[in-house]
């Protein structure tokens, strides 16, 4: 039995069987990995863009809240201006 195994290994090599090196599915795994990486980068870029786009509105609402807290504008004006800010954002 040992001689038969050694004969097969020397005749065909250990990588003759497709199961040893992934067979036909081998090229799919690096492609899948690349798709996952590209997807993660895309999701990160979209989230960053949305966060950056919302920042000016938050800053404007913060300034409006400060003006209301100082008494520069009344409650009706505060609510009206905040509604306008939220409509455009």
How high is the pLDDT of residue 55? 67
How high is the pLDDT of residue 28? 78
Q: How many domains does the chain have?
A: 1
Whether residue 36 lies inside any domain: the answer is yes
Whether residue 58 lies inside any domain: the answer is yes
- Domain extent, residue 57, equals 26-88
- Taking the chain (89 residues) in runs of 10, the rounded mean pLDDT of each run is 68 54 68 94 89 72 88 90 79
Whether residue 59 lies inside any domain: the answer is yes
DSSP annotation string for the chain: -HHHHHHHHHHH-TT-SGGGTTGGGTTHHHHHHHHHHHHHHHHHHHHHHHHHHHHHHHHHHHHHHHHHHHTSS-HHHHHHHHHHHHHH-
Whether residue 1 lies inside any domain: the answer is no
Whether residue 57 lies inside any domain: the answer is yes
Whether residue 12 lies inside any domain: the answer is no
Whether residue 13 lies inside any domain: the answer is no
How high is the pLDDT of residue 84? 87
């Amino acid at each position: 039995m040992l001689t038969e195994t050694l004969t097969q290994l020397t005749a065909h090599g250990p990588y003759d069987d497709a199961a040893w090196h992934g067979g036909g599915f081998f090229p799919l795994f690096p492609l899948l990995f690349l798709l996952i990486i590209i997807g993660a980068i895309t999701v990160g870029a979209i989230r960053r863009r949305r966060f950056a786009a919302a920042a000016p509105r938050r800053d404007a609402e913060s300034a409006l809240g400060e003006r209301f807290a100082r008494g520069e504008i009344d409650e009706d004006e505060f609510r009206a201006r905040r509604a306008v800010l939220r409509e455009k954002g």
